Structure 1
């Protein structure tokens, strides 16, 4: 059973030129692309909110860890104060933390030299896509 709408639509399609069909396809693809971009934006925004909350929690954990190290350092100073003058105890704890900081700095600097800021795989993929667009059959 055909409705009047279906019948009218088939006549409209049969009278449509190839150029109009290609134009319609182009418009549909453009609309689809815009919708995909909007969906991607929404997903990224949602994930960014989650990441922001997680970063806040990690920041709080980092601050709590900092305070724990600070008070443990003070406890070490007071413990050493029982066997030597307080000034020397504080100096020993400070030197230990200086050595730890120096080792962390040198290791971080060494690892930073291995970081490649260029997204190589993405660049290669984009080059392949550009080649395909230039020559889709080969």
Structure 2
């Protein structure tokens, strides 16, 4: 049989006094803030890496799609060259692309003009009105 060892009382941990706690409070708060900042830094760096890798992969996909469009345009020229001379097929595809580019450019120009100038004019007008109102009230109150 195993013999039971007498249990020795554990030494009680000394609880710090109120003065010690208050004295140590700035150090503890500073350590906590530093730990939180390190945690935020780590999280932001991780997310930034993920965003960078994701953006790079999306850019690669867009570049590959650009090559695909080039191949499709070549296929269109080759398909047209079965019924027309090759130079005429290439000219027709180029003219089609020019028309599409002009239409997209004009639509983009109209949308861009709606956003010009990029100053929040309505908000500035409202702010000026509020400022005039406040100045008017201030003059009446002082008199």
Same fold (TM over 0.5): yes
CA distances 1:62-91 after superposition (whole Å, capped 9, x unpaired): 222111110110011111222323223222
**2:31 matched to which residue of 1?**
31
Question: Please, which moves more after superposition, 89-98 or 63-72?
Answer: 89-98
Deviates more, 1:92-101 or 1:38-47: 92-101
Which whole-Å CA distance do the structure 2 matches of 1:63 and 1:87 have between them?
Answer: 27
In structure 2, how many angstroms separate the alpha carbons of the residues matched to 1:99 and 1:42?
Answer: 50
Q: Residues 98-109 of structure 1 correspond to what in structure 2 (within 5 A)?
A: 98-105=98-105
Matched, 1:63 2:71: no
CA drift of 1:52 comes to 2.6
The separation in 1 between residues aligned to 2:108 and 2:30, in whole angstroms, is 46
Counterpart Cα distance in 2 of 1:82 and 1:95: 18
The alignment's C-alpha RMSD in Å is 3.2
Count of matched residue positions in the alignment of Structure 1 and Structure 2: 107
CA distance in 2, matches of 1:105, 1:33: 52
Structure 1: state its 5+ residue gaps: 117-138
Structure 2 gap segments, 5+ residues each:
1-8, 119-143
Give the aligned partner of residue 113 of structure 1: 115
Tell me which residue corresponds to 1:90: 90
User: Counterpart of 1:44 in 2: which secondary structure?
Assistant: helix
SS at match of 1:5: coil
User: Looking at CA atoms only, which structure, 1 or 2, has the larger radius of gyration?
Assistant: 2
Q: Give the number of the structure whose residues are more often helix, by fraction.
A: 1
What is residue 80 of structure 1 aligned with on the other side?
Answer: 80
- Please, what TM-score do these two structures have when normalized by structure 1? 0.58
User: What TM-score do the two structures reach when normalised by structure 2?
Assistant: 0.56
